C-alpha cells in the first residue's frame, strides 16, 4: 500500500465561534485562532479543520453559507484569513476548510435570484416542486412528499411568490442545491479551486452523502415524528459519479486531505467513497458508533446508556472491513455531539482525567486518521444547562419543541436531554484558563461557559506532566514514529466483554496489545502470554498493574518484540 501523509496525521477541529475571541465581542474569531496556533503546533497535530468561517446569517452557525468566497464579518476579514494561513503553514500546520455544498443559505445570491421567478436562470440551482394536487398550497399535507427536516418539521417550504415548494433537508434557511444541474457542479468546483489555489490544504465535506437525491423524490417510511428521515437521500443514484467528477476536475490536481461527512452510510459503501485507489475521497466520517449509546426507538434525544459490546462490534466492523480497501477516520467528539468524556467515559472529578486518557488511548491506537475536537485534549465535559433559554443550537431547540408538541417527550425530561445530548455541549467556549470567562473573551460570551472551567482548563494542563493534554501529546507523537500504529492490522479481543475494550495490532512481526477498561470498577483481564514481557508504550496509570486486572478506566498499550 502506498503511504500517504494524511494517514499518519492527526487532525484538530476548531469551532471558530467558540475557540478564542480577540476583540471582546464574545465571539471567537480568526485573529483569535491565529494567536493560538503555537498551542496547536505544540500539541503535535498536523492539520486543523475549521468549521465554516464564510459569510452566513448564522441560522445554523455558519453551516448556512451566503457567500462561499467571503469571510463572516464577525470572524474577521480575508486578510485575517490569509495571515492565519501563512502562520499555520510556517508552523507546519495544514488548514482544512469545511465545504458545505449540499445546501446554501436562503440569503445566498443564487437563492435570492432563484426565488424571483420560475424562469430565473438560477431557479434550477435548487429543488422546486408543485404542491400535491388537490391540496391547499402551504397547508400540512400539500408538501410534495413526506420528507422531514433534520431540524424538525417538513423538509419543504412553500414559497408564495412562485407557488412552489423548495427542499431543505436542514433548516428552512438552508435550501438544498440541485447537484443534477451541471451549472451547480461547475460553480462548486470553481469555488473549491479558488480556495485550493489560495493554499488551503483540503476539505471536510458537510453531509456530502446527501447531494444526489433519488429519482422522483419518492415518499419514505415515516418515523414517530410523522416524517421520513433523510435515509432515502443517502448515497443517491449519482453520488459516486459526482464525487468522481469532483475528484477528476479538482481534488486530483492537489496534494490535499479530504474527508466526507456521511451520516447513515454503511461500511460496504464506504469502501467505495474512501477507496485506496483515490478516485473519490480520502476518508469519511461514519456515524454508527455515535448510536451505540442510544435507544433506537427513542433516537438522539431519548435516554442513553453505552452498550460496549455494540460499540466494539461497530468499530471492529469498520476497522477490519476497510482494511486494505479504504481508509478510516477516527473520532469520539465533534461540534454535533455531546462531549465524549461525559458520554463514553466518566466526567466526575474523580475519573475525568483517567477516563479521558482511556478514551484517547482506545481511539488513537486504532487504524485510521484520528480527529481531536477542541477541548477534548483537556477533557472538557457536557454543560449543566439550567434551561432551554441557554441553548443556541437550532437542532436541539427545534427537535425538543417538536417532540414536546407531539408528546414524544415530557417537559420534565427536557433538561436531562439537553445535558446529555444537545450539540451545544460541544460548543461551549474553549477553557483556556481559570480567569474571567475562561480566557475566551473579555466580553460576554455568545454561549454559556461551562462552570467547571476553574478546574478544567489549558493553563492548568500545559506543563503538568500527568495532564490529559500531555497524554494526547504523547499519543500523537507515538503515531509519528510507528508504522505499526498507522498501518497495522486490527484484531478485536473479547468481543462479548461488557467492560473491556481490547485489541491487537499487527505489522509483520511487530504486535501491539491495547487494553481499556470502560468502567469505574476493577475488572479482570489476563494479559495474553505473548505480551507478558512486552514493552509498555503508554498507559494512564503511573505503573503497570499485575497483568491480571485492569484498574478503573485503566488503559495501556504493550508492544512486542
Annotated active-site positions, please? 206, 261
Q: Which of 152, 236, 263, 379 binds ligand ISL (CB under 6 A)?
A: 263
Count of positions on this chain that bind ligand ISL (CB under 6 A): 15
Task: Look up residue 350 and give its DSSP letter.
Answer: T
Binding mask 343-382 for ligand ISL (x = CB under 6 A): ----------------------------------------
Beta carbons within 8 Å of 220's beta carbon, 6+ residues apart: 145, 146, 147, 228, 229, 231, 232
Task: Look up residue 141 and give its DSSP letter.
Answer: T
| CB closer to Ca ion, 338 vs 429 | 429
125-184 binders of ligand ISL (CB under 6 A) = 150, 170
| CB closer to ligand ISL, 332 vs 553 | 332
Find which of Ca ion, ligand ISL, none residue 60 binds, CB within 5 to 8 Å per kind: ligand ISL
Q: Shortest CA distance to 251 belongs to which of 359, 478, 96?
A: 96
Q: Which of 14, 65, 100, 409 binds ligand ISL (CB under 6 A)?
A: 100
CB of 261 to ligand ISL, least distance (A): 6
Q: Any contact of residue 259 with Ca ion (CB under 5 A)?
A: no
CB of 204 to ligand ISL, least distance (A): 9
CB atoms within 10 A of CB 439: 20
| Residue 192 CA: distances (Å) to CA of 27, 56, 100, 349, 428 | 27, 18, 11, 45, 30
* Cα distance between residue 499 and residue 516, in whole Å: 8
CB of 347 to ligand ISL, least distance (A): 20
| CB closer to ligand ISL, 21 vs 336 | 336
Q: Which of 108, 123, 173, 300 binds ligand ISL (CB under 6 A)?
A: 300
Beta carbons within 8 Å of 186's beta carbon, 6+ residues apart: none
Task: Give backbone dihedrals phi and psi of 7, rounded to 5 degrees, phi first.
Answer: -80, -30
Residues 137, 158: contact at Cβ < 8 Å? yes
Find which of Ca ion, ligand ISL, none residue 21 binds, CB within 5 to 8 Å per kind: Ca ion
Strands (E), 418-509: 489-493, 500-507
Q: Any contact of residue 15 with ligand ISL (CB under 6 A)?
A: no
Between CA 349 and CA 361, with CA 355 as vertex, the angle to 5 degrees is 150
| Residue 403 CA: distances (Å) to CA of 25, 293, 337, 395 | 34, 20, 19, 12
6-65 binders of Ca ion (CB under 5 A) = 21, 23, 25, 27, 29
Q: Any contact of residue 319 with Ca ion (CB under 5 A)?
A: no
Residues that bind ligand ISL (CB under 6 A): 60, 63, 100, 150, 170, 206-207, 261, 263, 290, 300, 335-336, 395, 423
Residues that bind Ca ion (CB under 5 A): 21, 23, 25, 27, 29
Amino acid at each position: 500500500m502506498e503511504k500517504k501523509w494524511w494517514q499518519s496525521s492527526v487532525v484538530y477541529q476548531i469551532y471558530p465561534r467558540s475557540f478564542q475571541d480577540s476583540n471582546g465581542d464574545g465571539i471567537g474569531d480568526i485573529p483569535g485562532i491565529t494567536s493560538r496556533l503555537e498551542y496547536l503546533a505544540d500539541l503535535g497535530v498536523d492539520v486543523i479543520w475549521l468549521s465554516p468561517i464564510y459569510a452566513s446569517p448564522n441560522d445554523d452557525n455558519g453551516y448556512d453559507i451566503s457567500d462561499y468566497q467571503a469571510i463572516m464579518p464577525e470572524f474577521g476579514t480575508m486578510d485575517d484569513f490569509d495571515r492565519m494561513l501563512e502562520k499555520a503553514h510556517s508552523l507546519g500546520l495544514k488548514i482544512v476548510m469545511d465545504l458545505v455544498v449540499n445546501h446554501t443559505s436562503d440569503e445566498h445570491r443564487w437563492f435570492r435570484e432563484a426565488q424571483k421567478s420560475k424562469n430565473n436562470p438560477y431557479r434550477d440551482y435548487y429543488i422546486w416542486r408543485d404542491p400535491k394536487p388537490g391540496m391547499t398550497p402551504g397547508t400540512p399535507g400539500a408538501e410534495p412528499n413526506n420528507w422531514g427536516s433534520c431540524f424538525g418539521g417538513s423538509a419543504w417550504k412553500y414559497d408564495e411568490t412562485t407557488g412552489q415548494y423548495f427542499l431543505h433537508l436542514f433548516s428552512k434557511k438552508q435550501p438544498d442545491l440541485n447537484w443534477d444541474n451541471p451549472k451547480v457542479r461547475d460553480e462548486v468546483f470553481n469555488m473549491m479551486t479558488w480556495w485550493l489555489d489560495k493554499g488551503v490544504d483540503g476539505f471536510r465535506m458537510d453531509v456530502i452523502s446527501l447531494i444526489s437525491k433519488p429519482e422522483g423524490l419518492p415518499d419514505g417510511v415515516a418515523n414517530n415524528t410523522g416524517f421520513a428521515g433523510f435515509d432515502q437521500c443517502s448515497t443517491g443514484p449519482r453520488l459516486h459519479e459526482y464525487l468522481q467528477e469532483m475528484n477528476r476536475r479538482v481534488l486530483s490536481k492537489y496534494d490535499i486531505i479530504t474527508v466526507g461527512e456521511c451520516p447513515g452510510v454503511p461500511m460496504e459503501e464506504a469502501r467505495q467513497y474512501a477507496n485506496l485507489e483515490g478516485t473519490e475521497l480520502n476518508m469519511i466520517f461514519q456515524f454508527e458508533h455515535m448510536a451505540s449509546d442510544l435507544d433506537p426507538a427513542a433516537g438522539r434525544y431519548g435516554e442513553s446508556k453505552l452498550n460496549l459490546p455494540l460499540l466494539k462490534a461497530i468499530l471492529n466492523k469498520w476497522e477490519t472491513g476497510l482494511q486494505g480497501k479504504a481508509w478510516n477516520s477516527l473520532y469520539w467528539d465533534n461540534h454535533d455531539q455531546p462531549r465524549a468524556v461525559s458520554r463514553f467515559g466518566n466526567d466526575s472529578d474523580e475519573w475525568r482525567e483517567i477516563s479521558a486518557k482511556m478514551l484517547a488511548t482506545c481511539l488513537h491506537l486504532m487504524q485510521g486518521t484520528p480527529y481531536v475536537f477542541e477541548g477534548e485534549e483537556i477533557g472538557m465535559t457536557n454543560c449543566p444547562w439550567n434551561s432551554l433559554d441557554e441553548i443556541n443550537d437550532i437542532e436541539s431547540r427545534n427537535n425538543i419543541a417538536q417532540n414536546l408538541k407531539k408528546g414524544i417527550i415530557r417537559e420534565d425530561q427536557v433538561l436531562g436531554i439537553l445535558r446529555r445530548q444537545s450539540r451545544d455541549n460541544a460548543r461551549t467556549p474553549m477553557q483556556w484558563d481559570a480567569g474571567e470567562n475562561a480566557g475566551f473573551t473579555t466580553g460576554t460570551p455568545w454561549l454559556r461557559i461551562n462552570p467547571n472551567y476553574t478546574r478544567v482548563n489549558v493553563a492548568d494542563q500545559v506543563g503538568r506532566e500527568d495532564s490529559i493534554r500531555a497524554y494526547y501529546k504523547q499519543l500523537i507523537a507515538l503515531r509519528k514514529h510507528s508504522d505499526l500504529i498507522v498501518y497495522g492490522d486490527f484484531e478485536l479481543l473479547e468481543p462479548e466483554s461488557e467492560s473491556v475494550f481490547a485489541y491487537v495490532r499487527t505489522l509483520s512481526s511487530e504486535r501491539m496489545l491495547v487494553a481499556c477498561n470502560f468502567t469505574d470498577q476493577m475488572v479482570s483481564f489476563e494479559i495474553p502470554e505473548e505480551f507478558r514481557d512486552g514493552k509498555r508504550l503508554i498507559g494512564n496509570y503511573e505503573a503497570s498493574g499485575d497483568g491480571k486486572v485492569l484498574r478503573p478506566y485503566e488503559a495501556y498499550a504493550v508492544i512486542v518484540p
